Amino acid sequence: MRTEGEVKQTKELKPAEEIQAYYIGADGKSIYELLKQYDLNWYRQQAILYLVRAGKKEGFTELDDLTSAMRFIQGDIERKQESQNQAATKPPRKPRRKRTEATPQPQPEAVSA
């Protein structure tokens, strides 16, 4: 499972000639243009891509794509639960002491030979 730092987002739109037909809507816009408008993490983006192409990609059934979308949604849920569990189990931070004027530190005693 990807960690929070590894979850990436779509940054650049693919050139039109590289976009498969099943990712193009009736209005001629690609799903990538839609995804660009939302602040979605990688798991959610992947789930949407599988939902959009469900049953349209050769070699994959609609059930294959729906199952894949569900796995990405489940991955997002698990990541969110882990994050919440970690936040709940972290001990509270100790408040910092305010620094006052430098306090002299005790000097080690000299050892006589």
Q: Regarding predicted confidence, which is higher, 92 or 32? A: 32
Which of 42, 66, 39, 63 minimizes the C-alpha distance to 52? 66
Count of other CB atoms within 10 angstroms of residue 97: 6
- Where b means 16+ CB within 10 Å and e means fewer, 72-94 reads bbebbeebeeeeeeeeeeeeeee
CA distance linking residue 4 with residue 1, whole number of Å: 10
Domain assignment of residue 55, given as a range: 16-83
Q: Does residue 45 fall inside a structural domain?
A: yes
pTM for this predicted structure: 0.64
Residue 99 lies in a domain: no
pLDDT in tens, 72-87: 999 999 999 999 888 8
> pLDDT (tens digit, 9 = 90+) per residue, 37-79?
998 999 999 999 999 999 999 999 999 999 999 999 999 999 9
Specify if 70 maps to a domain. Answer: yes
Handedness of CA 18, 13, 1, 50 (dihedral sign): negative
Asked whether residue 4 is assigned to any structural domain, the reply reads no
Q: Is residue 112 part of a domain?
A: no
The total of structural domains in the chain comes to 1
